[in-house]
Amino acid sequence: MIRALAATAGTVALADQLLHATRDWGATRGEATRVLPGDELVPGSVEQTTLAVTVEAPPEAVWPWLVQIGRGRGGMYSYDRLENLIGLDIHSTDEIREEWQHLAPGDRVEVVPAGYGPIPQGYSFPVAQVLPGRALVLRQAPPEHPWNAVWSFHLVPHGPGRSRLLSRSIARRPSGIGLRLANRVMEPVTLVMTRRMLHGIKHRAERRFAEGAPVPVESPTAAP
């Protein structure tokens, strides 16, 4: 019995170490500690994750894919089959569409449709900041959401014709044990899905850029 408990404790500890090791998956130390747009929206004691990939395309060629994320728009560029297996009806596009290129503070990025069984009210992220070609900041805050958090995406030039695509999640540490447990259960899933999302954007942007598609002209910066 004692051996079984010790083995279980060891497994949990190892899983927790692995989880912390992947919280900044693909990001350099400088990227993980850098202050990014949107961080200021959740001050104080927070939990933070930064994921990153290198894209063989400049930021202005990546932005059109990023700005059209969302259910009913360009999709989430992640594991569509898994998302649709649980009924989310998300379909990631392989094309850039003009009608999905416009987001402004106050708009919403939907990920769960209204009427969905476990979450009948649906789930969406209000857009907090849009810095075209640079950053897209999505917000969660009570009472609409159980978490006080920001989910943001950032494009950083990385040499000629290259960029770094970052995803930053920053959240106030929840006080209730229920939310803390929910965070621990969902965090590995979120990390894997978000990493796949970054790679989905990366591959689409690289393919289109390599094909010689015209790089969009950066639009005026939207007000935060």
For every residue of 3-25, DSSP letters joined together read HHHHHHHHHHHHHHHHHHHTTTT
Query: ∠112-137-161 over CA atoms, to 5°?
Result: 110
Sequence letter at residue 130: V
**Among candidates 56, 64, 55, which has minimal Cα distance to 96?**
64
Domain 37-210 class in CATH: alpha beta
Instruction: Check pLDDT > 50 for residue 159.
Output: yes
List the single range of 28-32, 41-45, 58-62, 166-170 with lowest mean pLDDT: 41-45
pLDDT of residue 51: 98
Please give the residue that has the higher pLDDT: either 219 or 71.
71
**Among candidates 216, 220, 69, which has minimal Cα distance to 138?**
69
pLDDT of residue 117: 87
pLDDT of residue 199: 98
Tell me what the mean pLDDT of segment 147-166 comes to. 96
Rounded to whole angstroms, the Cα distance separating 139 from 118 reads 21
The backbone torsions φ and ψ at residue 16, rounded to the nearest 5 degrees and listed phi first, read: -65, -40
Binned at pLDDT 50, 70 and 90, residue 213 comes out as confident
- The string of pLDDT tens digits covering residues 93-149 is 999 999 999 999 999 999 999 999 888 999 999 999 999 999 999 999 988 888 899
Please give the residue that has the higher pLDDT: either 29 or 119.
29
Rounded to whole angstroms, the Cα distance separating 189 from 194 reads 8
**pLDDT exceeding 90 applies to what percent of the chain?**
67
**pLDDT exceeding 70 applies to what percent of the chain?**
79
Tell me what the mean pLDDT of segment 4-20 comes to. 37
Q: How many other C-beta atoms lie within 10 A of the C-beta of residue 203?
A: 15
Helix (H/G/I), strand (E/B), else coil: 126: strand
**Among candidates 35, 101, 92, which has minimal Cα distance to 64?**
101
pTM of the model: 0.82
Rounded to whole angstroms, the Cα distance separating 202 from 157 reads 14
Give the torsion sign (CA, 172, 178, 183, 186). Answer: negative
The backbone torsions φ and ψ at residue 136, rounded to the nearest 5 degrees and listed phi first, read: -130, 120
Binned at pLDDT 50, 70 and 90, residue 180 comes out as low
Average pLDDT, the chain: 85
pLDDT of residue 39: 96
**Among candidates 148, 123, 150, which has minimal Cα distance to 138?**
150
pLDDT of residue 4: 37
Instruction: Check pLDDT > 60 for residue 21.
Output: no
